[in-house]
Structure 1
Amino acid sequence: MNPRSGLSVAQGTALSVGAVLGTGLISLPALAADAAGPAALVAWLALIILSAPLAWTFAALGARYPGAGGVSTYARMAFGPRIAAAVGWCFYFAVPLGAPVAAAFTGGYVADVVGGGRTTEFVTFLALIGIAYGMNWFGLQISGRVQLVLTATLAVLLVATVIAALPHARWDNLTPFAPHGWTGIGAAAAMLVWGFAGWEALSSLSAEYRNPRRDVPRATLVAVAVVGVLYLAVAAVSVLALGPALAGSRAPLSDLLAIGVGGPVRLLTAIAAVILTLGAINAYYAGSSRLGAALAAEKALPSTVFGTQRRSLTFIFVASIGSALLPLGLHTATLLVTGCFTLVYVLGTAAALRLLPSGLPKVIAGVAFVAVVALLWLNGAPALLSLGIAAGALLYQGLQARKPVLDEVRVDSAEPEHQSCS
């Protein structure tokens, strides 16, 4: 690669921030406050601190193995194809679980403007996934540049929200600090994984840098700092300005802008939320439909259901609707998805412990591994779903491995009878 044609530190930082800065932030401050009260700020800070070793670990893997295909590839290199398939399953099946959650975040903003409550949220969900399904069916993709514009729009919206609401911050809103006890912090942290998913993308970007060994760590540190400042600023201002009302809010950014600016800000934030969420769901549908077809090609999923990109896409679409119809609260649904993300990080950092050299790289990977294992434990009972998905992948792989042997046994047992008939 021509050194001048690769990513600079600034470009890499922008892409890394874009991979992590997601739509969850439009509702996560309220969900975290509902779980932990003002003490949710401790959970935000803990996740920001965790981001540094986690992001560095994936950046180190990418720098050492540039061009690799991400966590699944590292799991295959470290543990073999069955664990790699488990990673693929966790990513794939998290998408239809996560689409209703992302749409519910946005639906709260739409309902805040037009009314209708849960009905409006469900109609918003159907519209978003229907558009994403149609776009991917016909191969219409939002370009990487547009995705970056959407991310930049979210970043600008967050900064504007913080500036507008800051004069209304009150220290009194920090008391009582932990109304649900200190265990609420763990529950909030497990939920906030949604907002920090995406650091694994650093590994796939590493081969694009002009000088991966020099620039990847620099871009990673800057990205962690930018994401951390934005997240902590929004979370802190949300708690200080909205106080107890934050926990019950379905549109916290709208509430913050309304007290800071006034005017038609609720309509504007609702429109921004819809566009941002459509971009995110479209990207996840595009990536996961390809992932499902790839897993089927590797015989890690049945080809009759997942064998082509359109079959895989249709499964995700139908499963998304099925997930939305389940009698689950938003908290529980969010934890089911973050449990899958967290297990992927557990397997990815475990792979890093085997693949990275001894010394500082392995120490940092060890810190990240211990932290994500703790997060999986904090996820509680919903984490069992991710473990069940991984177990299902291993079981399916085992059955597929036994099929040729069983077929051979059947042929051998049928052969004498065939010979006697002749």
Structure 2
Amino acid sequence: MTETLQRPDTAAADRSPAAHGRLTLPQGAALYVGAVLGTGVIALPALAVQAAGPASLLAWLGLVLLSAPLALTFAALGARFPDAGGVSTYARNAFGPRWAAAVGWCFYFAVPAGAPAAAVFAGAYVEAAVGGGQRTVLLTAAALMLAVTVTNLFGVTVSGRVQLVLAVLLVTLLVAAVVTAAPHGDPANLHPFAPHGWLAVAPAAALLVWSFAGWEAITHLAADFRRPQRDLPRAAGIAVVVVGVLYLAVAGVGILVLGPQAGTGAPLARLLEIGLGGPAGALAAAAALLLTFGTMNAYYASAAKLGAALGRDGALPGWLARGARAGDVPRRSLAVTASLSALAMVAVAVTGTGAKPLVLLATGAFVAVYALGTASALKLLPRGTAAHRSAMVALVAVTALALTTGWYLLWPLAMGAGALLYQRRGTRA
């Protein structure tokens, strides 16, 4: 481990993939859509309406606009430095190994914190359809986590194919919900537009960051693309359009159709019931399962690759390093991610902790990852390019988002401190 930290040239050589993987452009776009268009669309529109009323649409719009420079920045970095380390690799190249370890820990340990929250969101939709109370919620969540783990055991090529099918199904379902429910909308439901004041848009935006986390996740899979320099930016561009349109459509139609009820219960289920009729609860549960599986699938794949890269680079135990190269399956790192997620799920079940604190913990970590990622881009990307200008815009916006996250930023600070202590211990060993 000491040798890894003291010989950066050798480590850099080891980080260079011998060959690219097999992910195609459609599969990559589907992974992006799955990572970003996740559980936020089934749960967070209601929480945002509770926080800011119809003015929450401004928070949605602001984060959609922020997505474009964020996606362009991370796609440019992934295309330029295709490596399983993702943002950790960019921080290493820009600021050195300590910052790389800190940001790597922030991402790696945010996934087990966020996975139970995502799975519980889906479980609540299933419970609403079939009943069974908290038992159904927890069993659904556990089944989702197991299914995602098994899928990723076969590697990113298989999970990419699965993701493509899921993306087509969930986009079709969301479009159907919006199109069929929209004629029932009433513009009067937009008034009063800001019942809790204009400042309430800020806490709504802090909640919604969860909905837009994911632009950094696929960078860990950049080397697994067939042509990362060409396909990664294209996949990100496709995802920005798809995700932005769907998020704004679901949130906007939800408020227009449901009015004050958009802040309660499961708004997607209500839209399906109004627009399509029939077994709306079953359709909503199916949408929730598809969305959640897609998100967790992308994040488990990314976290597993990152853990292997961190093991390779000395920021985590070396036995995790197997699977860091393009095309390899990081099963050891995946096992750690799955185990930590399961422990977090047990803690949720025992304590009865709601999903909101977990959402904000994960949000705090992802804001820190975005901040270090965009700061790295300013050093690594050529000045005067569109990607460099996008990184400047993204860094300013992410800094503003960090201010809305509040004390939940203590989580990434703790992760960063843990990474530095681990490296210091490894250097002394």
Please report the TM-score for the alignment, with normalisation by the length of structure 2.
0.82
- Alignment partner for residue 337 of structure 1, among 342, 347, 362? 362
CA deviations 1:64-120 (Å, max 9, x no partner) are 335574211111111112211112211121122111211121122112112344443
1:38 is aligned, of 54, 62, 72, to 54
CA distance in 2, matches of 1:317, 1:291: 19
Partner of 1:64: 80
Please, which runs of 5 or more residues in structure 1 have no aligned partner? 405-422
Instruction: Give secondary structure in 1 for the equivalent of 2:192.
Output: coil
Q: Provide the rounded CA distance (Å) in 2 between the counterparts of 1:271 and 1:194.
A: 21
Aligned to 2:283: 268
Residue of structure 2 equivalent to 1:54: 70
Q: 1:200 aligns with which of 211, 216, 229?
A: 216
Q: 1:300 to 1:324 in 2, by over 3 A?
A: farther
Query: What is the match of residue 15 of structure 2?
Result: none
Question: Which shows bigger deviation, 264-273 or 296-305?
Answer: 296-305
Change (3 A) 1:306 1:144: closer
Of the three residues 249, 252, 257, the one matched with 1:241 is 257
Structure 2 residue 171 is matched with structure 1 residue 145: no
Instruction: Find the aligned partners of 2:211 and 2:270 in 1 and give their Cα distance.
Output: 20
Q: Aligned AA for 2:245?
A: V
8 Å CA contact 2:111, 2:337 repeated in 1: no
The AA in structure 2 aligned to 1:110 is V
CA distance in 1 between counterparts of 2:314 and 2:223 reads 29
8 Å contact from structure 1 (residues 75, 351) kept in 2: yes
Partner residue in 2 for 1:377: 403
Letter of the structure 2 residue corresponding to residue 271 of structure 1: A
Structure 1 contact 13–219 (Cα < 8 Å) conserved: yes
Q: Distance in 1 between matches of 2:78 and 2:92?
A: 15
- Give me the whole-angstrom Cα distance separating, in 2, the residues matched to 1:301 and 1:7: 30
Q: More displaced, 295-304 or 45-54?
A: 295-304
Q: In the TM superposition, what is the alpha-carbon distance from 1:222 to its structure 2 partner?
A: 4.2
Cα pair 2:151 2:158 within 8 Å, conserved: no
State the identity as a percent: 55
Deviations 1:4-55 (A, max 9, x none): x9966x7765554344322321222112112211111000000011011111
Q: Which of these two proteins has the greater Rg computed from alpha carbons?
A: 1
1:358 to 2:383 alignment = yes
Bigger Cα displacement from structure 2, 138-147 vs 336-345: 138-147
Asked if the contact 1:22–1:151 (Cα under 8 Å) also holds between the matched residues in 2, the reply is no
Structure 1 residue aligned with 2:341: 316
| Matched letter for residue 113 of structure 2 | L
Identify which of 316, 319, 341 aligns with 1:301: 316
Residue 267 of structure 2 is aligned to residue 281 of structure 1:
no
Name 1:393's counterpart in structure 2.
419
Q: Is the 8 A contact 2:31 2:294 kept in 1?
A: no
Q: How big is the shift at 1:187?
A: 1.3
Q: CA deviation at 1:329?
A: 3.2
Q: Quick check: 98-107 or 130-139, which moved more?
A: 130-139
Instruction: Go from structure 1 to structure 2 and tell me whether the alpha carbon gap of 1:61 and 1:252 turns closer, same or farther (over 3 Å shift).
Output: same
Whole-Å Cα distance in 2 between the matches of residues 266 and 47 of structure 1? 29
Instruction: Report the Cα distance in structure 1 between the residues aligned to 2:157 and 2:82, rounded to whole angstroms.
Output: 26
Task: Indicate yes or no: 2:205 matched with 1:179.
Answer: no
Mapped partners of 1:323, 1:384: distance in 2: 20
Helix, strand or coil at the partner of 1:193: helix
Partners of 1:207 and 1:291 lie apart in 2 by: 13
Q: 1:261: Cα distance to partner?
A: 1.9
Aligned to 2:182: 166
Write out per-residue CA displacement over residues 355-382 of structure 1, whole angstroms, 9 at most, x where no aligned residue. 1122244332111111111111111222
Give the Cα–Cα distance (whole angstroms) in 2 for the partners of residues 51 and 209 of structure 1.
25
State how far apart, in whole Å, the 2-side matches of 1:312 and 1:201 are. 14
- Give, in angstroms, the shift of residue 293 of structure 1: 4.8
Task: Give me the whole-angstrom Cα distance separating, in 2, the residues matched to 1:299 and 1:320.
Answer: 28
**Aligned match of 2:13:** none
The one-letter amino acid of 2:270's match is D
- Unmatched runs of 5 consecutive residues or more in structure 2: 1-21, 323-331
Bigger shift: residues 290-299 or 263-272:
290-299
- Indicate the larger mover: 60-69 or 381-390: 60-69
CA RMSD of aligned residues (A): 3.3
Which range moves more in the overlay, 336-345 or 221-230? 221-230
The 1:384–1:297 alpha-carbon spacing in structure 2 relative to 1, beyond 3 Å, is: same
Superposition TM-score, scaled by structure 1 size:
0.83
CA distance in 1, matches of 2:375, 2:407: 22
Partner of 2:271: 256
Question: Is 1:26 matched up with 2:51?
Answer: no
The corresponding residue for 1:90 is: 106
